[in-house]
Amino acid sequence: MLRHVIAPSSGWTKASHAVVRDRRMNSDAKILLLYVQGLPESATGRPLGELARKLEMKGRAYQQAKKQLIEHGYVHEWRGQGDGGRWVTEQLFTNTPLTRDEARAVRARLSPEAAGPTRAERLSAPPPSAQSPTVGEPTPPSAGGYVPEEEHVDENTPHPPSEAEPEPKPDPEPEPDPKPGPEPETGHRPTPAQEPGTEATLPPRHPSPQLTRAERVLLSLRHTRRELLLGAGEARALAVEAAKWLERGLTESELRHALLAEPPKGGVHSAYGFLGHRLTHKCPVATAPVAPPEPPPPPVRALITCTSEAEEDHVFRPLGDETECADCRRATAYASWMVDTDTYDFPPDMTWRQRFVAVAKADALRGKPA
């Protein structure tokens, strides 16, 4: 290795070989050590972390470099609590490794008042001011099961803000009293139309054909089993679920059979609840749409004789209205290219029949008068 070194005449920092060649410290620790060593005396009042940020050394990299400098005796820290109750940390930096006792002796020599407040304490903000004690003697907490009363802010407010008076609304027109309906029978659960605050799922005003058919099937169940008697409102509400069965390909007779099959042993206590449960939980799965049939293949044409000027007659099966086979059509196109370029070069994939026909057609084209 060749080396060309020129000693700087100014702006340099002395670095010992022990620091530069130390394998126990990484490059960040060495750069931070040399950077702090070359700083002027006016910059020594700043903490080591602030000086490291000037080198873009932050986070994990700074913590690792500081840890190595502390382990090898280049940085020492003392943390203590001053008279004002504030915790301060004082750092000692040296370019030669020192033990803890040696560092304490250097600190005492550089700061004679080390036994008292540290330099960091003197540079920090003044301690918080003392507060006067509360007047009176401390009183014990009151015992007993006293529960404080609920505070009403609105009542305690001396002058509550005035609110704008709402505009008087016009009196609504009196509604006619609804006719009293028949009370539900004992043991019969009221339908959604009978329960207060419950809205039944009703079909639209103009029902579809499926809804009409489904309602007709539901109303016809009472002719087979008297306990499945439904009112007009109940049948209209259940027709929405029953129409889904018809939309999935079932006929009216299949829907009627599914609703009447396997009656419960204890009988039906609510026709609306029994039929609604069966329509919801036993609805068949929608069948997948049938794919349209594939179109038939095109008819096979009969063999015809090629009309080109070939040496031998040959036949081919046309795909449309062409009268020459594919080889002859390619040879015709290539013959025109040969006449235009005046060349006899053939591609390697060209058959002997195509080459023969191409040469014959090219010569025929050249012999024609312009």
**pLDDT tens for the chain, residues 1 to 370:** 675 667 676 777 777 877 888 888 888 888 888 888 888 877 777 888 888 888 888 888 888 888 988 888 888 888 887 777 788 888 888 888 888 888 888 888 887 655 445 554 455 555 555 666 666 666 766 655 555 555 554 555 555 555 555 555 555 555 555 444 444 444 444 444 444 444 445 545 556 888 888 888 888 888 888 888 888 889 899 888 888 888 888 888 888 888 888 888 888 888 898 888 888 888 877 776 777 888 888 788 888 888 876 667 888 888 888 888 887 888 888 888 888 887 777 778 777 777 777 787 788 777 754 3
Cα separations in angstroms, 319 against 125, 176, 263, 326: 100, 83, 67, 10
CB atoms near residue 192 (< 10 Å): 15
- Angle among Cα 10, 15, 17 to the nearest 5 degrees reads 140
SS3 for 18-78 is HHHCCCCCCHHHHHHHHHHHCCCHHHCCCCHHHHHHCCCCCHHHHHHHHHHHHHCCCEEEE
At 207 the pLDDT is: 67
C-alpha–C-alpha distance, residues 319 and 85, integer Å: 103
Rounded to whole angstroms, the Cα distance separating 277 from 264 reads: 13
